[in-house]
Amino acid sequence: MSLLLPRSPVKSAEPELAGPFPPDLHDVRHLWLKAGLLLIWVLVSFVATYFARDLQFLMAGGWPLGYWIEAQGAVLVFIGIVVVYAWAMNRFERQDEQRRLALEAEPLAGAKPPADAA
């Protein structure tokens, strides 16, 4: 009885990406954006709600500021974080597309037009 081993698939010559997203999605701009928004989220979700009782002396709309932070503030800031992230990523993608188009057009700008055969 012989043992049949599966044949290994033929690998292509193109480099394999790490996943479904291009690796440039994690460049420095994106990482700084994510770090800043995560820091804001931590400050609002944990730090501000921890000190909300200390802010009871400040009034906003007839209610203590601590109430607004505990009841609404963290949720509203989270929604704001999502909006800012979506806007910034859209802007980054447009900048990357303009940069890619400029790099593609660069070799064409240096090429000389064909001479007329007259």
The beta strands (E) that lie in the chain are given as 59-60, 63-64
- Residue extents of the structural domains in the chain: 29-105
Which amino acid is present at 90? N
Q: Which of 3-17, 19-33, 94-108 shows the highest mean pLDDT?
A: 94-108
Q: Is the pLDDT of residue 117 over 60?
A: no
Q: What is the pLDDT of residue 85?
A: 95
For residue 116, how far is the Cα from the chain centroid? 50
Q: Tell me: the pLDDT tens digits for 19-64?
A: 555 555 567 888 899 999 999 999 888 887 787 777 778 787 788 8
Confidence at 68, pLDDT banded by 50, 70, 90: confident
> What is the value of pTM for the model shown?
0.61
H or E stretch including 97? helix 74-110
Strand 59-60 and strand 63-64: the pairing is antiparallel
